[in-house]
Amino acid sequence: MKAFILDRYGKTVGLRMGEMPEPELRADDVLVKVRAAAINVLDSKIRNGEFKLLLPYRLPLVLGNDVAGVVIRVGPNVRRFKPGDEVYAKPPTERIGAFAEMIAMDEKAVAHKPEALSMEEAASLPLVTLTAWQVLVERANLQKGQKVLIHAGSGGVGTVAIQLAKHLGAFVATTTSAANVDLVKRLGADVVIDYGKEDFEQVLQGYDVVLNSLGADVLEKSLRVLKPGGRLISISGPPDPGFAKEIGASWFMRLAMRLLSYGIRKKAKRHGVSYSFLFMRASGDQLRELGPLIDAGAIRPVIDKTFPFASTNEAMAYVDKGRAKGKVVVTMG
């Protein structure tokens, strides 16, 4: 099958379009013919080698963390899916590979595609909707009437997190550039901070939750907008001891994560709030739970641009610029 392959790590490294063997179909797997795949910042970070210690992939590697397509075969233990089913998924971390003509995944990671969505729209949602759900619902237990700050509201995670938070009944603030103010307001943001004109930490206060996807400077400033007992949850790091325990990290990695997050955890404690890192996980069950919200229009996909499969490297370069509104998708035609 044709695929885009990573042969070596590096920021300036392009993916090689070439032939790869058809994926192995295990007993609990579904084999999916890929119709569309989305580009994520995570793909760039893996390509750059930023996760070499955390995610020790063997090269050559097919990238791709979001997929929508049609089931073409199933393993003998599969009960939820049959050939011909239209599905979408965030592949399990250890078995990514959506930038290809086919991908095999454990059925536990897969869900039927929401009927209201095209394949391109469906491919844009799994990673970001799962991230938003696991931050706001699982980790933060966000309640009606609470206040949440969502950084980078026009990005992939931000566009979905704003909508989910509003569905949950929260008061939502977000940061974005002047060009995207109208977009995030349409998605439901109650307060919009144009980071080119205002410092969010001087405007906002008394928040219950902050979802951070930006750098260390924003992370520290975010502590100041939280009320006592508030929660700062970051999907961009640094990883913390709780995450190390969750993934069963080695003693060396546990120590490294403890040291990396020591500063922000200490400052959070001083402010009377908590800090935690979240690395989203694949979950077909959660995608099924999100399906009715998507079909009802409570969560709508936001797609900036689509590229043909042959232009996957160009699509990644576009995402690397950091200016995409929502998601960027490649299609198989």
> C-alpha angle with apex 84: 83 to 85, nearest 5 degrees?
95
**Sign of the dihedral through C-alpha 224, 229, 234, 238:** positive
Task: Give the chain's domains with CATH numbers.
Answer: 2-125+301-331 (3.90.180.10), 127-277 (3.40.50.720)
Q: Considering the entire predicted model, what is its pTM?
A: 0.96
Distance CA 167, CA 41 (A): 26
Element (H, E) at 217: helix 216-222
Q: Residue 89: which of 116, 111, 115, 72 has the closest Cα?
A: 111
Asked whether the beta carbons of 151 and 179 are under 8 A apart, the reply is no
The b/e string for 49-87 (b: 16+ C-beta within 10 A; e otherwise) is eebeebbebeeebbbbbbbbbebebbbeebebbeeebbb
Distance CA 95, CA 53 (A): 16
The DSSP output letter for 16 is E
Across-strand partners of 104?
Answer: 31
Q: Which residues of the chain have pLDDT under 70?
A: none
Report the chain's C-alpha Rg in angstroms.
19
pLDDT of residue 305: 98
Element (H, E) at 293: helix 284-295
In Å, how far are 71, 85, 163, 249 from 33, measured between CA atoms? 6, 10, 30, 34
Task: List Cβ neighbours of 140 (8 Å cut-off, separation of 6 or more).
Answer: 148, 208, 209, 211, 231, 233
Task: List Cβ neighbours of 186 (8 Å cut-off, separation of 6 or more).
Answer: none
Distance CA 29, CA 192 (A): 43
pLDDT of residue 56: 83
As given in the structure block, the two tokens for residue 87 are 């599905």
As given in the structure block, the two tokens for residue 20 are 């790869």
Q: Give the pairing of strands 147-150 and 207-212.
A: parallel
Give the model confidence (pLDDT) of 52-108 as tens digits: 888 889 999 999 999 999 999 999 999 999 999 999 999 999 999 999 999 999 999
What is the DSSP track for 151-198? SSTTSHHHHHHHHHHHHTT-EEEEEE-GGGHHHHHHHT-SEEEETTT-
Q: Residue 277: which of 266, 261, 262 has the closest Cα?
A: 261
